[in-house]
Amino acid sequence: MDKKTEKVSMGRISNYSRLVKFEHTIFALPFAMIGFFMALQPENASISIKLLLLVLLCMVFARNSAMGFNRYLDREFDKRNPRTAIREIPAGILKPRSVLFFVLLNSLFFVITTFFINRLCFFLSPVALFVVLFYSYTKRFTSLCHFFLSLGLSLAPVGAYLSVTGKFNILPVLLGIVVFFWVSGFDIIYALQDEEFDKAQKLKSIPATVGKKRALLLARLIHLTAVICVVIVAVFIPAGILQWIGTGIFIALIFYQHTLVKPNDLSRVDFAFFTTNGIASVIYGILMITGFFL
């Protein structure tokens, strides 16, 4: 491959990486890894690098499918919204047909990858795909769209646990409930930026329905539920003192993000959404997993 061709190829990879916001995989990935390593504990099983890589690939393929489909489906809305007009499709960097092909390819790779994990994961893969893809439609008919997004991400620890054991357990479900309320809360905060646009375009969201002030209050109540749930997880999934430290930091960062955003000041929404939650997820995941082995 000559340098020009290599440069073009790297440019395309970079475009698709920006399209799906690859760095945001960090939200759900630590929880998937907790589910994976949690599943190893009861049987004291050895770590299968092959299985771990398959789980990581599933995470990447599923998220690529979900984000790519969201960008494809919302391309006309993104074009009208000044905040999102710079995205790859409305900016003309990527063609809609190419993005749709990208979605189909990643969906196919996701299903194929689950086939090499176990039978249960393979049979459930279409269900998981439906959940993560269906979210993109929900803003058109329900203000509860935030909860469909969080439902998709909450599958991460459950799916990772199933990949190891091939059977259901209440413990990864508890972890998934934490993810559900945590993601719902911070997605409502993120949606504050588009309140007026959503109203104008007749799109549904909690901020567009109840206003910024009430939406923030609801986000706080939802995050309070997440805090209660993460404490319950610490009680029922003992991983020593490190888990409690991680739980404390996770809770502190949840509360901290609410000090950054006010109904009349959204200037720090991105910091609250991306940085604070990313740090919370990584620290919690590292301390939780380390606690399993100490």
Other CB atoms within 10 Å distance of the CB of residue 103: 22
The predicted model scores a pTM of 0.93
Q: For position 195, what pLDDT does the model report?
A: 95
Is residue 276 a part of any domain in this protein?
A: yes
**Amino acid letter for position 230:** V
Average pLDDT, rounded, for the chain: 92
Q: Say how far apart CA 70 and CA 136 lie, in whole Å.
A: 5
Token code pair at residue 93: 């960097």
The number of helix segments (H) and strand segments (E) in the chain equals 14, 0
CA distance 288 to 286: 6
Judge whether 190 lies within some domain.
Answer: yes
List, in order, residues 6 or more apart from 56 with CB less than 8 Å away: 29
pLDDT the model gives residue 239: 81
138 in a structural domain: yes
Identify the pLDDT of residue 44.
Answer: 55
**CA–CA gap between residue 259 and residue 195 (Å, rounded):** 20
Q: Decide: helix, strand or coil at residue 224.
A: helix
Rounded-to-integer distance, Cα 67 and Cα 22, Å? 9
Q: Which residues pair with 265 in a beta bridge?
A: 262
Weakly modelled stretches of the chain, pLDDT under 50: none
How confident is the model over 121-151, as pLDDT tens digits? 999 999 999 999 999 999 999 999 999 999 9
Residue 57, in any domain of the structure:
yes
Total domains in the fold of the chain: 1
The CATH number for 124's domain is 1.10.357.140
Please report the pLDDT score of residue 289 as a whole number.
94
Check: CB of residue 63 under 8 Å from CB of residue 20: yes
Q: What is the pLDDT of residue 14?
A: 84
Nearest one of 169, 160, 138, 195 to 34, comparing CA atoms: 160
Domain annotation covers residue 14: no
In a domain, 4, yes or no: no
Note the pLDDT of residue 270: 87
Q: Within a 10 A sphere around the Cβ of 126, how many other Cβ atoms?
A: 13
Range of the domain at 191: 22-292
Question: What integer pLDDT is reported at residue 53 of this predicted model?
Answer: 97
Q: Does the residue 265 lie in any domain?
A: yes
DSSP 194: G
Question: Does residue 16 lie within any of the structural domains?
Answer: no
